[in-house]
Amino acid sequence: MFLDTPDITPYRAGTDGLAYVHTFHSGRPGPHVCINALTHGNEICGAWAVAALLDEGVRPTAGTLSLSFANVEAFSRFDRNNPEATRWVDEDMNRVWDEATLDGPRQSQELARAREMRAFFDTVDFLLDLHSMHTPGPALGLCGATAGGLDFARRLGVPEYLVIDAGHSAGKRLRDYAGFGDEGNPRQALLVECGFHFEHAAVVMAHRASRRFLDATGACPGLCADAPFPDVKAVRIVDAVTIRHPEFLFTRDWESMDSVPHAGTVIAYDGDTPVTTPCDDCVLVMPAPERYRLPGMTAVRLGRREHGDGASA
């Protein structure tokens, strides 16, 4: 288990009055690009990648570059002996980004931070949101459901696997906030699940995805030494299984990106209700471990492979 965390307290002040948000202007025309870490407080790979860019003094040669840490309150409570406990303080910060929730009366630690950061994200043209996963599996780029999001992710070429999805019924993700989730909007976001939370490979992927993003968006051309993956594979989500019953059991220990050959195969029971695969060669994306299987949460997302021309397999 890799549980080392970077010290981000030197970055508390920020550059423009917003804590833990650093913005650098090149003085030349170009987009505002942002790499964000710690939407979830225990997803330490992104914190390492963003801290490294700050430590190295990376600056844009075109446009504007921002480097941000989101749920710093949850991260500040990170405990090596209980690393899962600090995903959030009050609620999932990646489910609060719909306008009605942001404008509404509800209060939480995460909503307060989201409301504080909202005007900042409104100015971002290209966003890379760095995450990691509950379970082992290959790194995944979550590119949203728009054609523009998929094109953008393919242009980055890292990671190798893309997931085309509209998000969760439990609330909007940052990657879908404002223009990022709208078809035809030129603003784009990619959420990268860099690997299992507590493996060093996730940190390596977070560095690689960050540098590739800065290279491909034109903010820092040549920063990434690694070539993009030549054959990025995409899976389109056709169903998100939201848990209804306190007892939700998978029929076996599925791993992320496992596939099931036949449509109609039972993969889980939600109480007494069987959960079946909706298509042949169905891909199981990030099945939730037992501790995260609670009513209202997403148990697993189910996908269909998609070829480069955009046609479903």
What residue is closest to Zn ion based on CB?
A: 131
- DSSP for 145-158? SSHHHHHHHHHH--
Nearest to 235 by CA among 302, 175, 299: 302
Q: What is the dihedral of CA 215, 217, 221, 222, to 10 degrees?
A: 20
Question: CB of 46: closest distance to Zn ion in angstroms?
Answer: 9
CA distances from 182 to 147, 174, 206 (A): 10, 13, 26
Question: CB of 222: closest distance to Zn ion in angstroms?
Answer: 29
- The residues binding Zn ion (CB under 5 A) are 40, 43, 131
Q: Which is nearer to Zn ion, 23 or 71 (CB)?
A: 71
Question: CB of 148: closest distance to Zn ion in angstroms?
Answer: 23
Q: Which is nearer to Zn ion, 40 or 208 (CB)?
A: 40
Q: Which is nearer to Zn ion, 158 or 191 (CB)?
A: 191
Question: CB of 272: closest distance to Zn ion in angstroms?
Answer: 31
- DSSP for 192-230? EEEEETT-HHHHHHHHHHHHHHHHHTTSSTT---SPPPS
Q: Which is nearer to Zn ion, 40 or 236 (CB)?
A: 40
Q: Which is nearer to Zn ion, 117 or 275 (CB)?
A: 117
Question: CB of 174: closest distance to Zn ion in angstroms?
Answer: 10
Burial class (CB in 10 A: 0-12, 13-18, 19+), 229: middle
